[in-house]
Amino acid sequence: MLRTFRKGGVHPHDNKISRSAAIQVFPMPETVVVPLSQHIGAPATAQVAKGDKVKTGQLIAAASGFVSANIHSPVSGTVVSVDNVADAGFMRRPAITIKVEGNQWEDGIDTDPTFRRAEKLDPAEIIARISAAGIVGMGGATFPTQVKLSVPPNKKAQYLVINGVECEPYLTADHRVMLEKGEELLEGIRLLARALDAEKSLVGIENNKPDAIGHLTALASGDADIEIVPLKVKYPQGGEKQLIDAVTRRQVPPGGLPLDVGVVVQNVGTAVAVYEAVVKRKPLIERVVTVTGKGISSPANLMVRVGTPVSSLIEYCGGLPESAGKVIGGGPMMGRAMANLDSPVTKGTSGIMVLDGKEATRQKPEACIKCAKCVEVCPMGLEPYLLYKLASRNMFPDMEEYYATDCIECGSCSFTCPAHLPLLDYIRLGKGEIMKIIRARKS
């Protein structure tokens, strides 16, 4: 019997319309805009100035704290500016703009795509190379990978869990990575496991990707330390705590971390980036992005340099259809509407999704009928209807008492609500206010 997590969850239609689209290398843009904050934690500090010449893979911004990540030039060319630039929500944030002039790589980076096994390295050297390359979680969370691998002395990572679930509807980037970069993925897993001194690596993949399950099972057949774990399709199985429950039957306690139950979770894209960083000395300067939507004429999975304008990806896939009502960064459940399509692809950009006007129109909210469906589907065991009411009344300290900060913002509550209440919107608002309260309390 296929495994899945045991608390809550919903079943949106997966709409994986780009699942058969092989990864294409996206053409080099004329200009890239490289944000200094593409990760959770402190923004990186610029190491270049206007007029500087840079090479592909060159360090252009250095991590500025323990929870931070290096940033490298995705192209070779001339730095046009180091200034604030509008992001997807038109918020101005620091970024480095580079005019592209060829593709000359920094010395020491192996650009040969031929797969090769990693040399024998100790955990400290593996983590150092990952840190130098600016690797972050590529499933969307963008947590600096070297921090996740720095296990405290009083903790033990028994299991490395690899997230190949990609439960967000429409997105297929991870699916294609598993199919097309399987050897690199498995070698990245071995490196991560060695860095953690993990006893076993478990790769969770939902069974709507039977080709990926079969492919990786065959590749890993001779490695007793890696197990491919088929999972029943259920959203949000890609959440860390839900995936841990599904593959290990361990449950992370409220307010706890995966390491509290002896687990570290990494995304499949991150594992491939780790392989490239450790074996090829290649920093994280590009990633696979799904461009999709029922109105997109040519849905695709594109290998894109960081800093490339989102608008150029949409044009490459046929342009915005006349029926377009909203563009989402990410998938329809957890993604956010984009106000600025000229904003750049970042390390955390997993997909660009175009909704038509009908799909993008919200139904008018009605009165809560106290059906408790939102409670039933919440994978964190929260009471979304209550958190919504508290947030709508600005009762943010009360929200904290009801564990609002444990919300993973999966959107299952809003998806299932028969009254069409904007539950997640208000919970997100409340979480933001609670974090202000927590910061004030600490200071």
- pLDDT by residue (tens digit) across 88-123? 999 999 999 999 998 999 999 999 999 999 999 999
∠162-168-174 over CA atoms, to 5°? 45
Residue 156 has what pLDDT? Answer: 94
**The pLDDT value given to residue 344:** 97
Give pLDDT, residue 295: 92
| Residue 418, pLDDT score | 97
Residue 359 has pLDDT above 90, yes or no: no
pLDDT over 90 at 140, yes or no:
no
Residue 97: which of 28, 29, 33 has the closest Cα?
33
> What value, to the nearest 5°, has the Cα angle with vertex 37 and ends 284 and 331?
75
114: helix, strand or coil: coil
What does DSSP say about strands 200-206 and 159-163: parallel, antiparallel, or unpaired?
parallel
pTM: 0.95
Q: What pLDDT digit, counting tens, does each position of 259-297 carry?
A: 999 999 999 999 999 999 999 999 999 999 999 999 999
Alpha-carbon gap, residue 153 to 382, rounded angstroms: 32
pLDDT at 443 over 90: no
pLDDT tens column, 72-86: 999 999 999 999 999
Of the candidates 314, 313, 315, 311, the one whose C-alpha atom is nearest the C-alpha of residue 303 is 313
What's the rounded mean pLDDT across residues 329-343? 95
- d(CA 18, CA 164) in angstroms, rounded, equals 16
- pLDDT computed for residue 254 by the predictor: 85
Mean pLDDT of 433-442: 92
Determine the pLDDT at residue 163. 98
Average per-residue pLDDT for the chain? 96
Mean of the pLDDT values across residues 180-192? 98
The tokens of 52 are what?
């500087």
pLDDT tens per residue, range 5-49: 999 999 999 999 999 999 999 999 999 999 999 999 999 999 999
pLDDT band at 420 (very low <50, low <70, confident <90, very high): very high
Mean pLDDT of 377-396: 97
Angle, in degrees to the nearest 10, between helices 268-279 and 182-196? 80
Partner residues linked to 31 by β-bridges? 99
R_g (Cα) of the chain, nearest Å? 21
pLDDT band at 442 (very low <50, low <70, confident <90, very high): confident
| Mean pLDDT, rounded, for 182-204 | 98
Q: Which residues contact 359 (CB under 8 A, 6 or more apart)?
A: 294, 325, 326
pLDDT at residue number 1: 81
pLDDT band at 141 (very low <50, low <70, confident <90, very high): confident
- Stretch 189-195: mean pLDDT, rounded? 98
Q: Quick one: what percent of the chain has pLDDT higher than 90?
A: 95
d(CA 384, CA 369): 13
Which pLDDT score is estimated for 255?
84
* Residue 214 to residue 230: CA distance in whole angstroms: 10
In this predicted structure, what is the pLDDT of residue 183?
98
Instruction: With cut-offs at 50, 70 and 90, classify the pLDDT of residue 360.
Output: confident
* pLDDT for the residue numbered 332: 94
